[in-house]
Amino acid sequence: MTRLGEKVGYAAMILAAAVLIYVSRSYALQDGAYPHIVLTLLAILAAVGLYQSFRASRQDQEREEAATQPEPERGAMWPVVIYIGLTMLFILSWNWIGTLPAVFIFSAILVVLNGERRIWMIIALPVVLTAVLYVVFQSILYLPLPRGFFLR
């Protein structure tokens, strides 16, 4: 992660701790003391982390100026963003179109986005995955998966 991301992470922790302490200010001592201690310590350590991150940024800058070799390459972030976005849509779609149709569509999209071009494989994997989930959850475990608006 970049130093900026690290700083954002620590700042988010401080903010979250402050908000949660504020939210719980009305709790009785026996209920509020323990989470207050935990959150206060978290905010303090996150502040220390934030300070160290700023200090490390300066050192990074100096090191970059002196460096002769480039940093090792890591994959781009956008496939991760697409993956998280698709997973979010997948979860939300359970209540609209039902879990099993959502599984079929989601897995087909992921297979294609990850570079599979053989049509039979693009169809076979989602079909097998959906069938296995149907058999395991509906037929063996009798767990009703969400069926969506259309099949209600």
Rounded least distance, CB 54 to another protein, Å: 14
Q: What is the dihedral of CA 94, 95, 98, 99, to 10 degrees?
A: 30
Q: Cα 48 to chain center, whole Å?
A: 25
Residues contacting 11, CB < 8 A, separation 6+: 46, 50
* CA–CA distance, 39 with 18 (Å, rounded to integer): 8
Rounded least distance, CB 41 to another protein, Å: 6
* CA–CA distance, 35 with 21 (Å, rounded to integer): 8
**Which member of 15, 18, 67, 95 binds another protein (CB under 8 A)?**
95
Window 120 to 149, contacts with another protein (CB under 8 A): 125-126, 129, 133, 136-137, 140-141, 143-146
71 binds another protein (CB under 8 A): no
50 binds another protein (CB under 8 A): no
Compute how many other C-beta atoms are within 10 angstroms of the C-beta atom of residue 119. 8
- Judge whether 97 and 148 are in contact, CB under 8 Å: yes
Q: Which residues bind another protein (CB under 8 A)?
A: 1, 5-6, 9-10, 13, 20, 23-24, 27-28, 30-32, 34-35, 38-39, 41-42, 45-46, 48-49, 52, 73-77, 79-80, 83-84, 87-88, 90-91, 94-95, 99, 103, 106-107, 110-111, 114-116, 125-126, 129, 133, 136-137, 140-141, 143-146
